[in-house]
Amino acid sequence: MALASEVSQEVWIGAGKIGGDVKTVTEYAIGYERMHELESDMLLGYDASIKYARMKEKEEERTLKVDEWAFDFEGLYGMALSHDVHLLGVGGLRLGNTDGSTTIYGLGVGAEVQYFIEKNWVVSADYMRHFMKSDDDAYYQTNTFMLKFGYEF
């Protein structure tokens, strides 16, 4: 199976909700995606993004605020259901930092649906399940739902 002639690149911004072992928080992201469309409408690519989240937790009588920065690198594999709709499986790595002192790292798996609203404009919805560990040996899992808007060139 050879790579077909179509290679696309996309820059995107997004916002979503994180839930799981942490309190529900909003996450913001900016990213870059490169995709190869194979001859059989199969898609193969990668996505790299930088994400920011501000977590707030109530602990007794005070509110704790934690800033988190993360870098995600994800592999993408899926198919073009039509010219306008792509369905992708996602798997990748996350490396980040919370409050400038604690390093976090882990793996994620999920799915993404892309809909091309115009020739170069795409809206995407994705779900990721992350399995994370911090350098202070805390383990946690998160579920992230994100809505993304991108421009493909």
Q: In this structure, what CATH number is given to the domain that contains residue 82?
A: 2.20.200
Indicate if the pLDDT at residue 141 is higher than 80. yes
Mean of pLDDT values over 67-81: 94
C-alpha–C-alpha distance, residues 97 and 66, integer Å: 10
Residue 75 forms part of a structural domain: yes
Q: In which domain, by residue range, is 80 found?
A: 44-119
Residue 13 forms part of a structural domain: no
Residue 88 forms part of a structural domain: yes
CA angle 122, 124, 128 (to 5 degrees): 155
**Who contacts 138 (Cβ-Cβ below 8 Å, separation ≥6)?**
none
Residue 12 forms part of a structural domain: no
> Are 90 and 75 in contact, with CB atoms under 8 Å apart?
yes
> Are 11 and 32 in contact, with CB atoms under 8 Å apart?
yes
C-alpha–C-alpha distance, residues 126 and 25, integer Å: 16
Number of domains the chain contains: 1
Mean of pLDDT values over 94-101: 86
Indicate if the pLDDT at residue 121 is higher than 60. yes
Residue 86 forms part of a structural domain: yes
Residue 72 forms part of a structural domain: yes
Residue 31 forms part of a structural domain: no
User: Nearest CA to 132 among 88, 89, 97?
Assistant: 97
Task: Report the DSSP beta bridge partners of residue 128.
Answer: 110, 144
Task: Report the DSSP beta bridge partners of residue 64.
Answer: 57
Mean of pLDDT values over 102-112: 95
The structure tokens listed for 144 are 């992230």
pTM, rounded to two decimals: 0.84
Residue 131 forms part of a structural domain: no
